[in-house]
Structure 1
Amino acid sequence: MIMSKRGFTATVGRRCGLTLILILALSIAAACPAFADENTPAVDHYAIGCILPLSGRNAAYGNRALDAVLLAAGVFNAAKETPIRVLIEDSQSEAAVAGAAVEKLARAGVTCILGPLGSQEAFEAAKEAQRLKIPILTLTQREGITEVGDHVFRNFLTAAMQVRTVVQYAQAELGLRRFAILYPDDPYGQEMARLFREEVRRKGGEIRKEKPYKADQTDLGEEIRALGGVAPASPGMEVSAGFPPKPDPGFEALFIPDFSYRVAMIVQQLAYYDITGIRLLGTSGWDSPELLKADPGHLQGAVFVDGFFINSFRPEVNDFIEAFYTAYGREPDTMEALVYDAADIAVKLLLENRGETRDAFRRGLTQIKGYRGVSGKTSFPASRDAQKDLFILTVKDGRIVQVK
């Protein structure tokens, strides 16, 4: 599929019309002399390749990501003409197909590639892009993806990025040094706990206690008591004046790397077992209205992070939300914000470099410092793995609000 600004007449926000235009553009492009000889393909210096799972098990994510790419490419901006063209390949949610799509886009002459989303898809595409020396900006959480080679970049929200931000804020801004971890005993929870443990110790803090729980567990009484929780007094029990005060659990903050609906349940149980007066720390999985199903008083002052915040006070975020809603009739989420920024970076580089070579584009990515996007400020260090100033969030008076 190919999409460019010229000739776009589909009704804004209507995917059926958009698909027809994409198919029509593809048939027209087949007759383009620039792509006629596959052995010596001409490079279209304003062409961005895009590999997304538009079918298969991850199709819902891929189609939402495509919305973000097209918005960044200026498809819906009738007031501004652009030479940017987006060539779209469906990975079908399969790694082998994603790898083959890279070669197909290379023959089509794209300057750079965005995607894919999935871990294995991104890895196969990255290997092929490195072999063909085409810069690829991957959209995956897979750790180590940029180690494939110097043409492989990533712009996405990772576990390590979240943990670094949470620990930095907890120690530098809140002055916390003693931590505990309560985590689900599954791959996500184990990885988050490992990263948190390592980052706290690297920064000179202490991990006082750790306790895993089963991912489907609903009663965490035993685990919470192991952290220092105490069972409530029996009904009718008299508490004497000499009754010992609530014991100190031995830590100042508790990190819970789980998702909002489970955190809401866990927080209620922490209060039941008198684990109160500590700072609760979390990940992007907390950023949902479901979190507030817990008593807001138990969440007051909790700190967590995300790569996007729909109620941000940043003007660029508000502008993005308005444009996205106008185009698609719905609000964007974190994934769409990250994909939008990746596409916007690519578009801006191609326009600023006035259609230079693939290698010039690769060098341009390495020089991006402090790009102010809708998913926070972004820079590409030597590792080519985007560094982001994530949104730091808290709960205040029963609402999720942005701290910085």
Structure 2
Amino acid sequence: MRRRELLCGLLGAGALLLVGCPQSQGDAKVIKIGVAGPFTGSAAAFGEMIRKAAELKIEEINAAGGIGGKKVEALFEDDRGDTTEAANVSRKLASDASVCLVIGHFNSTCSNAAKEEYNRKGVLQFSPGSTNVKVCAGSPWTFRNLYRDDFQGQLLARYSKDVLGAKKIAVFYDNDDYGKGLMEACKAEADKIGLEVLDPISYVRERTQDFKPLVEKVKGQAPDVIVICGLYNEAALIAKAARGDLGMQAPILGGDGVMNDKFIENAGKAAEGCYVFTPFLFDVVKDDPKAQAFYESFKKKFGKDPDTWAALTYDAVGMALQAVAEVGVDRKKIRDWMASRTTPDKAYRGVTGPTYFDAEGDCYSKGLHVAVVKDGKFAAAEKQVKLN
């Protein structure tokens, strides 16, 4: 450690290139954070909410005087929901010594692709959307503020059987880290509880456009529920194929990747009555002062309602910057502060509830809600999940 400090002192301006030298951050007039997400591409609707929520939280902090008299600035980097771009973004942000932490990535496959570089350079990666079980595993610099897919997958199976009355389900899944992992968790739980799963059908996001032939494969087997483990665009195509083209009446249940208004917009009438899992739902917490204040501030600034992912991003930025306020911009100190949030009394209490972590950086303090599309909008389903 003494040798590293000596090198930083000797290299002067060159120390800007060294991750371990906090002087380049501490002496800056602004506090810079990276925000990485799918700002373009097939998951761009998620990225829009991530950007807006981060902008709002930073604006509020700066309006209150900043942190230690310094303004906060975000460097938004577009990973396009693509693993190659995510790896490029991680190298860019991690090598920028003025960036003290990164909010992101959103897609699980992107977080998994990026974490190696963040680990290597020692930069906090705090995801408000990645749920694949491998995201935090073996990665001391990676944290998330929502549940994992083993939890969500179990509940997809249970809700299908216990609430929707299914004896047999069809599962469509995006063949990436998120979709495949969620499908596997759902199928494993279904096997345990005696719920039949037809051969799961995979597709490739952005490439698969015609879902009618895929849905026709399961129609003749009469599934009681159609489960979708993927994102909103493809989910809309599946719903339209099932309900519009083929006239299927089976309930549709989507994982949280479907939780976006674009699903309703793209699916049209086929979205009505569809169930979707979500880590947060304003309809459930409408009386909570923090949630209501955020909702109103967001809508006033941007002219549209915030969604689940906006709320989680708002909290992620708030928690990460609380760490900066308490320990400064040193990357390791920020990471250690996050890792010390292991009990309810040390939790960050935000719009989406208390956030604290286990030893891996996973968050088990948040629940899961079930939304249903009603009159063209997401609302709380009458029956929610049973956690026990």
Hey, what's the Cα distance between the residues in 2 that align with 1:109 and 1:124? 19
Compared with structure 1, are the counterparts of its residues 209 and 131 closer, same or farther at alpha carbon in structure 2 (3 Å cutoff)?
Answer: closer
CA drift at 1:344: 1.5
Residues 78 and 55 (structure 1), Cα distance of their counterparts in 2 relative to 1, 3 Å cut: closer
CA distance in 2, matches of 1:256, 1:358: 37
Counterparts of 2:271 and 2:55, CA distance in 1: 41
Q: Distance in 2 between matches of 1:384 and 1:282?
A: 26
Which whole-Å CA distance do the structure 1 matches of 2:141 and 2:215 have between them?
50
Is 1:149 the equivalent of 2:139?
Answer: yes
TM-score normalised according to structure 1 size: 0.64
Q: Which amino acid letter does the alignment assign opposite residue 326 of structure 1?
A: K
Distance 2:316 2:323 in 1: 11
The alignment partner of 1:294 has SS state of helix
Matched, 1:385 2:362: yes
**Counterpart AA for 1:321:** Y
Going from structure 1 to structure 2, the CA distance change for 1:54 and 1:87 (only over 3 Å counts) comes to farther
Q: How does 1:115-264 map to 2 (within 5 A)?
A: 115-117=104-106, 122-123=111-112, 125-139=114-128, 141=130, 143=132, 144-155=134-145, 159-160=149-150, 162-170=152-160, 174=163, 176=165, 178-183=167-172, 187=176, 191-202=181-192, 204-210=193-199, 212=201, 215=208, 216-218=210-212, 222-228=216-222, 253-257=225-229, 259-264=235-240
What's the C-alpha RMSD, in Å, of the aligned pairs? 4.4
The 1:321/1:390 distance shift into structure 2, 3 A limit, reads same
Distance in structure 1 (CA, Å) of the matches to 2:55 and 2:238:
35
SS in 2 for 1:335: helix
**So what's the TM-score if we normalise by structure 2?**
0.66
Over 3 Å counting, the alpha-carbon distance change for 1:77 and 1:340 in structure 2 is same
| Residue 323 of structure 1, CA deviation | 0.9
Is 2:74 the partner of 1:88?
yes
Contact 1:157 1:307 in 2 (8 A): yes
Q: Percent identity?
A: 21
Deviations 1:116-163 (A, max 9, x none): 446676446532332344433135637323234222213467654542
Aligned counterpart in structure 2 of residue 66 of structure 1, from 44, 51, 74: 51
User: Residues 103, 221 of structure 1: CA spacing in aligned structure 2 closer, same or farther, 3 A cutoff?
Assistant: closer
Render the CA deviation track for 1:316-356: whole Å, top value 9, x for unaligned: 33322211122233333343332212112213344466889
Q: Which residue of 1 aligns with 2:276?
A: 304
Paired AA for residue 72 in structure 2: V
Q: Is the 8 A contact 1:324 1:332 kept in 2?
A: yes
**Structure 2 equivalent of residue 52 of structure 1:** 36
CA distance in 2, matches of 1:295, 1:90: 32
Deviation track 1:357-401 (CA, whole Å, cap 9, x = no partner) reads 335413334446775544465442233123331331135577642
Q: Which runs of 5+ in 1 are unaligned?
A: 1-33, 229-248
Q: Which residue type is aligned with residue 379 of structure 2?
A: V
Deviations 1:198-249 (A, max 9, x none): 13234x3322534638751336774344323xxxxxxxxxxxxxxxxxxxx7
Counterpart of 2:372 in structure 1 is 394
Residues 266 and 310 of structure 1, relative CA distance in 2, 3 Å threshold: farther
Larger Rg: 1
Distance in 1 separating the partners of 2:104 and 2:376: 37
Q: 1:189 to 1:223 in 2, by over 3 A?
A: farther
Are the equivalent residues in 1 in contact too, given 2:37–2:104 (CA < 8 A)? no
Aligned pairs for 1:76-115 (under 5 A) are: 78=63, 82-83=67-68, 85-91=71-77, 93=79, 94=85, 95-105=87-97, 108=98, 110=100, 112-115=101-104
Provide, for residues 66-104 of structure 1, a one-character-per-residue CA deviation record: whole Å limited to 9, x for no partner: 332232234477466643643534546432342242132
Aligned partners of 1:59 and 1:92 also within 8 Å:
no
| Secondary structure at 2:95 match in 1 | helix
Q: Relative to structure 1, is the Cα distance of residues 205 and 77 closer, same or farther in structure 2, using a 3 angstrom cutoff? A: farther
One-letter amino acid of the counterpart of residue 124, structure 2: P
Q: 1:319 corresponds to which residue?
A: 293
SS at match of 2:198: strand
Change (3 A) 1:141 1:36: same
Amino acid at match of 1:380: F
| Counterpart among 345, 352, 372 of residue 319 in structure 2 | 345
Aligned residues: 336
| Structure 2 counterpart of 1:336, one-letter code | A
| Structure 2 unaligned regions, length at least 5 | 1-11, 80-84
